Chain A
């Protein structure tokens, strides 16, 4: 029997490698993965990669903020090194976006499962609430929530949960409604499994196909929204670097010093493009499988 267990392990790791190998067959997916991995690498090694303290003001540079040998990407309106701020800013976005997306998934999966499995009034209440949240345009909802709670990393995460989870509820609910009618769920009921067991062990694993692709897309979308919040002055409070905030602070100087806004804009765009291309690659694989 131990042998069989061993075989099982080999098998499941085999699945993982097989998928990875499949991903390499999609050039779009590989490009996306490279972009994302690049930023993950930058975020992890930020202290070693950043040439300066991101919040240190270099007043001599204020006169000539253009890129030069000392400051590869130039300095901003307060004389801070843009390269260092972009490097440290990757940390902010790569922590807040995944944590927020994950939290939205936890909430969305739980409510979606409950709604689709129990139907009836549970579904009515959850679906209605989700519909109502969905009838607020995302950006308005963000503004309202941040206006109510005040700008902070935690509140950005809370806002993401309110904005993203209704859509996740819809997806999970749809899959659950479909799956609960399948015979294997009936079989589970007939051997006396509890509702929680059926939802978590029988149904939830079968939602992973669509959710993997969705989570990757959503991560990109959340990144955009965090950037937008920063750009609107609703993101993280200064002075910590945040790509959206960097554009906001320097945008009024576009006509004279476009590089101050341009580089952070390129940074956030490349990360989101990475997530989206990766999602597309994953979708292609899931269709083949």
Chain B
């Protein structure tokens, strides 16, 4: 496992002059009933052999459109209306269908966002892989099979021969994506286009896939276009980065230079809206980018970013087309901004004063107390299968949250964080143990049986902005109804209060009459927050409330949550997989694995050694968009064991890189508790853990 940093140096030497791919003034349009939409007005860049270019930007800025334009696969409505795409020097527009088929899958391959749906569900993995060499290398079935097995080995899949016989649904998400990568690499392509290849994968799985891509691209000397909304993942794989906004490449250059010294205001905005590791809500607020990507139906003459840019000077920025300007003194670094030379130098970690920066004294008042909580799902038996396996979703959870504070719950999918939310909200009831909300025991009370005061005291903000609001109801209806139910006020009172709530979440008054499909993701989440606040709850449970949003919008929602919490003194249980957001927002953190809390403490305690080995792996895997802050990655082997298995020992033992022996498998780990209340459940003593952690960091 060699670090990508060293690999990148060797890459710099091998970069050849002849470009594999060149885009010249490419204009991509969609023909719709509303007219022609120029999604990408004029895009130019080139990619040399073996080079990796990252394309980043918010959703809707045209990244994926560019990827599919390169594959010449834009669907019925998409057209390349101007310019040229040259692949190996040949204009793709002049290629016949036959020529196109010959290079697709052989010279030019793609890896897709959602690996599960990218694989044919009714075909064995083997067949799907064999097709590639049989088609492009004209080899027989047996030879193709051997090649497929070899490539499955190359993407580090254990037992390739077994995988060949499997169907896609029998593999985990990470394994599926490795299969797709193997499929793409089998004909040794010159260019690999990767469209959000790790989105939707767990952090530790993502880290492993990224490392694999970084390794393989050097081994096969493949050029890569890597599309991602996550700046941290791009930094791990790419040499260069292009920042896209509104269909244009607003900044492009060597990735380290761009991230360390961003020039374009949009690049700066993107970087500033990400919480950096080490920053927290007491020192600063995040700086979101105001507004949203405008409609491509009416493309302005000047700078596309002008309407959202804080440096914009209408006279110079919006009257003439903006040229791309090379940055003096930096090779191959350019930006599309006329005021480039007038901009102040960028300081990444400047402190934006928040409304409440002072540390509030410990309130000490416990709003939520969870005591030895178990949740076991027992599927009801049928006549033929009387004893289906039970699922242990939560095992012996012990946590508490104080008034006005944030308790973050971190873990990957399947760790039990959503089950915990369901028990707290009363959608499910506990199997064993207690949940105390203020003065009430609510762990065994389903939401239908909770009294008015209890319902009022606990509300939730959900992950998916598209399902959080009823598509049939207006925003105003949703908020008014919540007010009437939770506060028991009249319809006319509800109207005025709904207006107030909208103002509180920074939405304009007109929104009362909008329906969810007229809102953006961030706006929907604001409405959802307003609705949750209707009853002025003591406890808000936020289940991944920003994970479906763009970073710039994410920042605004996080700021909103912090401000509201300060104003209302509400307790927040913040469920997330994003460690940098948690670091920024939380007061206390619980790390969960397979239904158990493996580490708990204040945010300072959890984010500093000694770590639980799982926390350590998570932290090392989290993508960081800061040059020089990359850590040595700890790659977790295997997948999370099934929750139906009875595990006598430590739940993490099967994947733990710091496993000390059979004791980990056989005996439940002791919970070490420090005097400050930091808890770690591990067989390794705390002192030894701290030593191991610091050694790894060096």
Contacts and interface: CB of A to CB of B under 8 A. Distances in A.
**Chains A and B directly touch (beta carbon < 8 Å):** yes
B427 A191 contact: no
Contacts of B472: 205-206
Contact of B448 (A4, A187, A189, A202): A189
B470 A202 contact: yes
A188 B482 CA distance: 8
A184 B468 contact: yes
Contacts of A8: 474, 513
Interface stretch (B99-107, B190-198, B455-463): B455-463
Interface string B527-553: 010010011000000000000000000
B639 interface: no
Contact of B455 (A7, A11, A191): A191
A191 B535 contact: yes
Contacts of B672: none
Contacts of A4: 476, 510, 512-513
B128 interface: no
Nearest to B514: A11
A25 B34 CA distance: 13
Given A183-B467, A192-B452, 18 more contacts: A4-B476, A4-B510, A7-B513, A25-B33, A183-B463, A183-B464, A183-B468, A184-B469, A187-B460, A188-B470, A189-B447, A189-B448, A191-B459, A191-B534, A192-B447, A192-B455, A202-B470, A206-B471
A11 B510 CA distance: 12
Interface string A177-202: 00000111011111111000000001
Most buried by B among A1, A7, A190, A202: A190
Nearest to A25: B33
A191 B482 contact: yes
A206 B470 contact: yes
A11 B427 contact: no
A4 B495 CA distance: 11
Contacts of B473: 205
In the A-B complex, list the 4 residue pairs whose CB atoms are closest, starting with the nearest.
A205-B472, A183-B462, A182-B467, A191-B485
Interface in B18-72: 33
Nearest to A184: B470
Nearest to A192: B455
B425 A186 contact: yes
B486 interface: yes
14 contacts: A182-B467, A183-B463, A183-B467, A184-B468, A184-B470, A186-B460, A187-B528, A189-B426, A190-B455, A190-B458, A191-B455, A191-B481, A193-B485, A206-B470
A190 B447 contact: yes
Contacts of B535: 191
Contacts, number: 64
A162 B467 CA distance: 35
A7 B463 CA distance: 31
Nearest to B496: A1
Interface of B: 33, 425-427, 447-448, 450, 452, 455, 458-460, 462-464, 467-474, 476, 481-482, 485-486, 495, 510, 512-513, 528, 531, 534-535
Nearest to B462: A183
A107 B448 CA distance: 27
Contacts of B486: 191-192
Contacts of A7: 513
A193 to B, nearest CB: 7
Given A11-B513, A193-B485, A206-B471, A186 B462 contact: yes
A138 to B, nearest CB: 31
Nearest to A289: B517
A188 B473 CA distance: 12
A68 to B, nearest CB: 51
A1 B492 CA distance: 10
Most buried by A among B452, B469, B510, B513: B513
B424 to A, nearest CB: 11
Contacts of A189: 426-427, 447-448
Nearest to B446: A189
Nearest to A22: B33
Contacts of A183: 462-464, 467-468
Nearest to B534: A191
Nearest to B476: A4
Contacts of B481: 191
A190 B537 CA distance: 12
A11 B517 CA distance: 14
A268 to B, nearest CB: 36
A203 B90 CA distance: 55
A11 to B, nearest CB: 6
A198 to B, nearest CB: 10
Contacts of B458: 190
A191 B456 CA distance: 7
Contacts of B471: 206
A202 B486 CA distance: 17
Nearest to B482: A191
A186 B532 CA distance: 12
Interface string A184-228: 101111111100000000100110000000000000000000000
B531 A187 contact: yes
A190 B512 contact: no
B129 to A, nearest CB: 34
A4 B508 CA distance: 13
B463 to A, nearest CB: 8
A191 B532 CA distance: 9
Nearest to A189: B447
A7 B514 CA distance: 10
A18 to B, nearest CB: 12
A86 to B, nearest CB: 40
A187 B468 contact: yes
A77 B462 CA distance: 70
B138 to A, nearest CB: 41
A187 B531 CA distance: 9
A289 to B, nearest CB: 9
Contacts of B460: 186-187, 190
Nearest to A208: B472
Given A191-B485, A191-B535, A1 B427 contact: no
Nearest to B516: A184
B421 to A, nearest CB: 10
Interface string A1-26: 10010011001000000000000010
B470 A190 contact: no
A202 B467 CA distance: 12
B33 to A, nearest CB: 8
Interface in A9-68: 11, 25
A186 B464 CA distance: 13
Contacts of B426: 189-190
B406 to A, nearest CB: 20
Contacts of A186: 425, 427, 460, 462
A193 B464 CA distance: 21
Interface in A104-158: none
B298 to A, nearest CB: 20
Given A4-B512, A187-B462, A192 B467 contact: no
Contacts of A205: 470, 472-473
A190 B459 contact: yes
Contacts of A184: 467-470
A7 B426 CA distance: 38
A1 B495 contact: yes
A184 B33 CA distance: 32
Contacts of B427: 186, 189
Contacts of B425: 186, 190
A134 to B, nearest CB: 22
B458 to A, nearest CB: 7
Nearest to A207: B472
Contacts of A188: 470
A218 to B, nearest CB: 22
Contacts of A25: 33
A192 B481 CA distance: 11
A7 B476 CA distance: 13
A248 B452 CA distance: 65
A205 B469 CA distance: 13
